[in-house]
Each structure stands twice: as structure tokens, then as C-alpha cells.
Amino acid sequence: MQIRRIEPPAPPLPRRKRAAAYARVSDGKEAMLHSLSAQVSYYSDFISKNTEWEYKGVFVDEALTGTRENRPGFQSMLAECRAGNIDIVITKSISRLARNTVTILKSIRELKSLEVDIFFEQENIHSLSAEGELMLSILSSYAQEQSRQVSENCKWRIRKDFQEGKPNIGKLMGYRLKDGVFVIVPAEAVIVGQIYADYLSGMGTLAIQKKLLEQGIKLSRCGVRGILQQEKYVGDLLLQKTFTENHISKRGKRNEGQLPMYHVEGAHEAIIDRADFDAVQKEIARRAAQHGSTEPPRAGHDLSGMIRCDICSAVYHHKIVGSAPKYKKPVWICSTYNSLGKSACASQQIPEDILKAKIAEAGGMEGLKEILVPGHFRLFFAYKDGRTVKATWQHPSRRESWTPEMREAVSQRNYERQQKENAHA
């Protein structure tokens, strides 16, 4: 009898975890960028030396704040995790990943659903552990509070400068900021003077914009209007006209009494005579009272400032078109095309209902960063997570756009016309 020895199969080798790291500095100064370089070297070596890990790279963001989600390195890391290419992410601390509690918990919960672990070295926490999310919620709240304190310190410094009469912007047509004082740029000052003279001669902001364009100077109607109302051209400063809403959204808001303003007379050399400046302000008020303000609305639409023409780089704004009430409809139109016509920009207006339908098809408003209009009947949607969607659209035919009531009205008019023709026959 032959005895055969059967060797048990070798146990499969455990699959190594695919590991990556994330590093970020929020300051572009040389010392901080050197710190970022050191972090990259450290994590590359740290992951490579672990025999249970497979190195999948280090994702970095330079000089970008941790309170916003639109960080390219951070978004690339999330995309790789969603694609199933990473099992564990190593980062120095919670504040390096994000300082916004909502952002960090949203990201961690998404990665947790993908079974991707995040290890925070400084806090010694794994996000997939039982106590991980509770501790992360507490610690990330602390990190967000730190961010708020930094923001408040910056606001305090800026407001202190305002109280001392120091501006916080360095570039304005006709001026450059030098050692805390606005200094005249002669070539640009001539343009500013021309704008004021043209307006007092009776020209409107659109006519001035067209004249500047013929001279090779690109300036929007809002830009012309802003120059005509800018007190700095008479040598004065009106400080804190706007303010930042909060340290997370960083959205600027017009100061309408929420905070004090500071008015400084004779802070620098004037470009415009005060009598001419006052005359322009009276003329602006007179025209507004006579014809009504033509200034476009500053807010009120979710898409305001988000749609950009890829032909001339101007933004699209909301407009109601159509003469008769029943034919009026909302559209989005390139501001250059709307002001200067097709000769300046060969774009087209987009019906709002079609635009909203295409946004829904692309993935909705959630995380939508920008909409580009590269040409006729084409749209390009860019999302904060790096995803892009191309789309085409077309105008509905006139037949499809008619309602039953409209068809009935046309039929009635045709019938009445036929009856009149028969009566005169």
C-alpha cells in the first residue's frame, strides 16, 4: 500500500494596507514650505519602513487654509479613497486635516463608510476605532475654535489699523499703496480724470465703458461706477465699508451699520477735485431719481457669480427678457454681451429653467464650484471634489413651448379673422 503525504496549502499572505499621508501648511512663507517638505520626507520614510503598508504617496496643500474644502491635495486624496486605492491615511493632527468641524466629520464619516482609516499621530487616534468619532468631534471643535481665535486676532489688527487711518488694500486704479500711504500712478490717474470728465459731460457708464474699450482699457460698468463713487480719489479714506461674515465661509458683506466706519480726510494726494467729485455724486443721484437705478442686484440668486463665460471671461448675470408679461422669462446672460453686444462677445443667453435642469442632471448644487460656458449650447460643471461634467442643451421648439391656452387663443383669433373675411366677401 502506497502512502501519499499531502502538504497543507500555504496560508495566503495578508494583503498589505495601502497607506498614504496628508500634509498641509497655511502660510506660503519659506520657513513654512520647508516644514511641508520635511513632512513629505518624514511620511514617505515612515510609510515605506512599515512592512504591513504599501506606499501610496503623500498628498499636500501649500499655503491653503484648513477651513475650506476646495484644497486640491485634500480633494485628490478623497478621490483616491473613493476609487478604492487607499486603506489608511496618516496625518500629523486634526488641525492639519481641517479646522472646520463640519468638514472634518463629513470627510471622516464618508471615509469610514468606505472602510478607510485615518490615523492622527499627535492625538494617537484611529478614526475607525470605537471611541474615534467622539474624540474627533471634541478635538476638531477645539481646532475650529483655534481657527476662530486666529480669525478674530486678524480682524482686531485690521480694525486697529482702520482706527489709525491705515487702509488694507494695496492696488486701486490711479494709486499704489507705499509705506501705508496711497501714491499716485500718473498714467492711471489720467484715465480716472477722463472718466469723471466724461460723466459730467453727460455720458453714461455704458458709453464710458465702450470708450475705454476702444482705447484698449477693459473695465466693466460696475468698475466705472465704482470709480465714480470712490472717495479715495479726493484724498479721503472711508474704512471698513465691508467685513468678513465669519471665519469659515469668509464671505464678504457690505457694512450697513453692523460695524463702525472710519472717515479720514486728506489722507493722501487727490486725483479728483472735491468740487468735481461732489458734482458727480449729485449727478449720480439725479440720474437714479429720474431713470431709476440700473445697478444689477447684488444677491438673491444661488448662481450669482458662479457662471463664467469662457469666451470673454466675464460673469453671467440674471435677467428677465420678453416684452409682454406672458412672454417674460428669466435667463442668464454674459455681462459683456449684455452691455456691448455680439461684437464684443459672441455668447448666448441661457434660459434659467434649462440651466437648472442641466445642473440637476450633472449632480445638483451640492459642492458645485463653477459653471463655464465654452460656447453655444455647451456647459461645463466643475465641482469642489474635482469632478467635472460636460453637458449640451438646446432650445425647445416653439411648438413644444406652447401651452393649451396659447393654442386655444390662436385658434380663436384665426376663427374670428375667417368670420370677418367671410362677412366682407
Q: Using one digit for the tens of pLDDT, what is the confidence trace for 6-24? A: 766 666 667 789 999 998 8
Distance from chain centroid for Cα 337 = 22
* 182 and 122 share one domain: no
**Comparing C-alpha atoms, which of 24, 36, 154 is closest to residue 94?**
24
pLDDT (average), residues 212-223: 84
CATH, residue 35: 3.40.50.1390
What's the pLDDT tens digit per position in 228-246? Answer: 998 889 888 877 666 566 5
Please report which confidence band the pLDDT of residue 284 belongs to, taking 50, 70 and 90 as the band edges: very high
pLDDT (average), residues 392-416: 71
Give the number of domains in the chain. Answer: 3
Range in 78-82, 204-208, 323-327, 328-332 the model is least confident about: 323-327
Q: Note down the domain range covering 124.
A: 17-155
* 145 and 104 share one domain: yes
| Pairwise pLDDT comparison (58 vs 339), residue with the higher score | 58
CB 91 within 8 A of CB 119: yes
* 376 and 257 share one domain: no
* 226 and 257 share one domain: yes
- Joined together, the cell numbers standing for residue 45 give 520614510
CB 235 within 8 A of CB 268: yes
pTM confidence score? 0.47
The overall average pLDDT reported for the chain is 79
* 173 and 252 share one domain: yes
CB 77 within 8 A of CB 22: yes
Predicted local confidence at residue 299, as pLDDT: 43
Listing from the earlier edge strand, what are the strands of the sheet with 378-383? 307-309, 368-375, 378-383, 388-392
What is the full DSSP assignment across 253-264?
Answer: EE-SSSS--EEE
**Planar angle of CA 165, 167, 171, nearest 5 degrees:** 155
Residue 57 lies in a domain: yes
Range in 23-37, 171-185, 377-391 the model is least confident about: 23-37
pLDDT (average), residues 103-108: 74
* 194 and 111 share one domain: no
Residue 405 lies in a domain: no
CATH, residue 210: 3.90.1750.20
Cβ partners under 8 Å of residue 130, min gap 6: none
Predicted local confidence at residue 296, as pLDDT: 45
- What is the distance between the alpha carbons of residues 388 and 132, in angstroms, rounded to a whole number? 33
Answer whether residue 87 shows pLDDT above 50: yes
Distances (CA, A) of 89 to 61, 117, 164, 274: 15, 6, 47, 61
The sign of the CA dihedral 179, 184, 187, 191 is positive
Most confident of 34-48, 147-161, 195-209, 278-292: 195-209
Answer whether residue 196 shows pLDDT above 90: yes
* Helix extents (H) in 19-128: 30-48, 72-82, 94-97, 101-113
Element containing residue 282 per DSSP (H, E): helix 274-291
Residue 413 lies in a domain: no
Q: Which residues pair with 388 in a beta bridge?
A: 382
